Amino acid sequence: MSSLLIRDVAILPLDRHDRFIERGDISIVDGRIASVRAHGEAHDHGAPTADRVIDGCGLLAAPGLVNAHTHSPGALLAGTMDTESHPAFMWLNQADTSGRTPHEVYVSAMLNAAQMLLSGVTTAIDHFPAQNFGPEDIAAAVRAYRESGMRMVLAVRIFDDTFGDIFPRDMQLPAGLAAELQRVAPLPPKPLPETRELTEDAISRYHAPERRLSVFPAPTNPVRCTDALLEMSRDIAARFGVGIHTHLLESKVQTRLAQERHGCTMVEHLERLGMLSPKLSCAHTIWIDNPDIERLARHGVVVVHNPESNLKLGTGIAPIGRMVAAGVTVALGSDGNVTNDNQQLHEAMRLAACLGRVVEPDRRRWVTARQALAMATAGGAAAVGLPDIGRIEAGCRADIVLYDLDRPEWTPVNDPVRQMVFSETGASVHTVVVDGRVLVEAGRITAFDAAGVLAEARPMLAAIRERNRDLYAFARRMGELFP
């Protein structure tokens, strides 16, 4: 048995009592929280002993954040996009992430993990990757997750249909561009039996939530998948007892495609396929009406709000206030660095609280700081299917972040929840504990050689673009069709 004691620390448990402990101790045994003790309580008999003690004086302990939608292949791509349309971004992103070696997959995943850990994220869903991939790529990502020490969900991103939402409406291309599409073939789907085998093999080999790694089937987007693939994902999830992750209704054109293909909304169609359940988490979910919001609430579906990437791409503002009012469980995601440029979930929290206020005149329906923080903790816990993370409470997994209260944004401590959402940027993260193991100390990663990861990552994008220069040139021409 291993034990850790965080002593004399301020604690924001986010537990059922919704309290703030100004000074207390957190005892951790074998990766789980054994006790949370407030100093001065009637049953206070002094701090327990432990193998290791962290002095929490001047620090605030809060639950680790859950980034419920990221793309590790995008970790190399900060600063590569600005005013591109959603289709143009998609084509350029294919060029920048295709044809990677397993080592490039590994380094990119480690770089993504480093960014998240340093800003207080302890758990994430990696919707991985976008292009065709094989078991060696999955193995490389799994190696990264295990070495990082983070709690991760590998959401195996699969498809078997065209990406019709990023083609011209009539699907017609100029002759030269159509020929080039056939030559570079950026998005050829695998045969469905091969996709099934790859997904099931990944789950069988690597799904081990008790060791911080889960594996989900993850259709890239229902409009890019046949019903056969969606039903396959549903059946695999049921067979293995895992979740399903997907993009949903990120762009307005996707609503039109669903109506043309199915004669109903995409949410209605997913309901008919038996896809809607608490096991399903849906990133973005912007273009949705009230009846479909009620469907999601009724079935317990988790919506993963990605406010920063939505704004940068101009795809829209998700009606999160209406979802919360209807009882939808909402989580938060950063999306990939290519559309957000960082993995700072604190920024997503702040936007989740503030973004809808300009269009909602009734302040009673505004998303509060407490609700936004719950999206990044309890909501994320629902998305990854782990009800014992997202709070500091006896019996929960010990995923805890310590923030430095000696920084200006925490001086004075007036309301820890509001300051966590509106003041904190992730810069105050001092210590990060996952599963009872210390991964970050004094603002520096100790779990792995972060400096080595950065050194390897620096030249990688240039090498990838040189290797994919024909595909990159084609992607730029495709993007020009969407001014």
Structure confidence by residue, pLDDT tens digits, 148-160:
999 999 999 999 9
Q: Please tell me the total number of residues recorded for the chain in this structure.
A: 483
* pLDDT value for 168: 86
Helix or strand holding residue 149 (H, E) = none
Q: Name which of 1, 93, 37 is nearest 394 in CA terms.
A: 37
Is pLDDT above 60 for 325?
A: yes
In the chain, the percentage of residues whose pLDDT exceeds 70 is: 99
Distance in angstroms (rounded) separating the CA atoms of residues 385 and 371: 19
Is pLDDT above 90 for 320?
A: yes
Mind listing the pLDDT tens digit for each residue in 171-188?
A: 788 888 888 888 887 778
Q: Name which of 382, 207, 196, 381 is nearest 277 in CA terms.
A: 382
Distance in angstroms (rounded) separating the CA atoms of residues 6 and 4: 7
Q: Within a 10 A sphere around the Cβ of 134, how many other Cβ atoms? A: 11
Mind listing the pLDDT tens digit for each residue in 445-470?
A: 999 999 999 999 999 999 999 999 99
* pLDDT value for 182: 84
Mean pLDDT for 81-97 is: 92
- Beta-carbon contacts of 217 under 8 Å, excluding residues fewer than 6 positions away, are 155, 156, 158, 199, 203, 232, 233, 236, 237, 242, 244
Q: Name which of 85, 127, 75, 81 is nearest 105 in CA terms.
A: 75
- Beta-carbon contacts of 466 under 8 Å, excluding residues fewer than 6 positions away, are none
Is pLDDT above 80 for 23?
A: yes
Is pLDDT above 70 for 45?
A: no
* pLDDT value for 228: 98
* pLDDT value for 282: 98
Pair 326, 300: CB distance under 8 Å: no
Mean pLDDT for 36-43 is: 82
Pair 307, 323: CB distance under 8 Å: no
Higher pLDDT, 173 or 407: 407
Distance in angstroms (rounded) separating the CA atoms of residues 124 and 115: 12
Cα torsion angle, 178, 183, 187, 192, sign:
positive
Confidence of residue 44 (pLDDT cuts 50, 70, 90): low
Is pLDDT above 60 for 42?
A: no
Helix axes 450-457, 102-118, angle to 10 degrees: 130
In the beta sheet, which residues pair with residue 271?
none
Give the least confident one: 174-188, 220-234, 280-294. Answer: 174-188
Q: Which domains does the chain have, with CATH numbers?
A: 3-63+396-449 (2.30.40.10), 67-384 (3.20.20.140)
| Predicted structure pTM score | 0.96
Distance in angstroms (rounded) separating the CA atoms of residues 134 and 289: 38
Mean pLDDT for 275-281 is: 98
Q: Within a 10 A sphere around the Cβ of 83, how many other Cβ atoms? A: 9
Distance in angstroms (rounded) separating the CA atoms of residues 100 and 373: 36
Confidence of residue 46 (pLDDT cuts 50, 70, 90): low
CA angle, 350 as apex, 349 and 354 as ends, to 5°? 120
- Residue 366 backbone dihedrals phi, psi, to 5 degrees: -70, 145
Give the least confident one: 117-126, 181-190, 229-238, 276-285. Answer: 181-190
What end-to-end distance do the CA atoms of the chain give, in Å?
A: 60
Pair 420, 62: CB distance under 8 Å: yes
260: three-class secondary structure by DSSP: helix
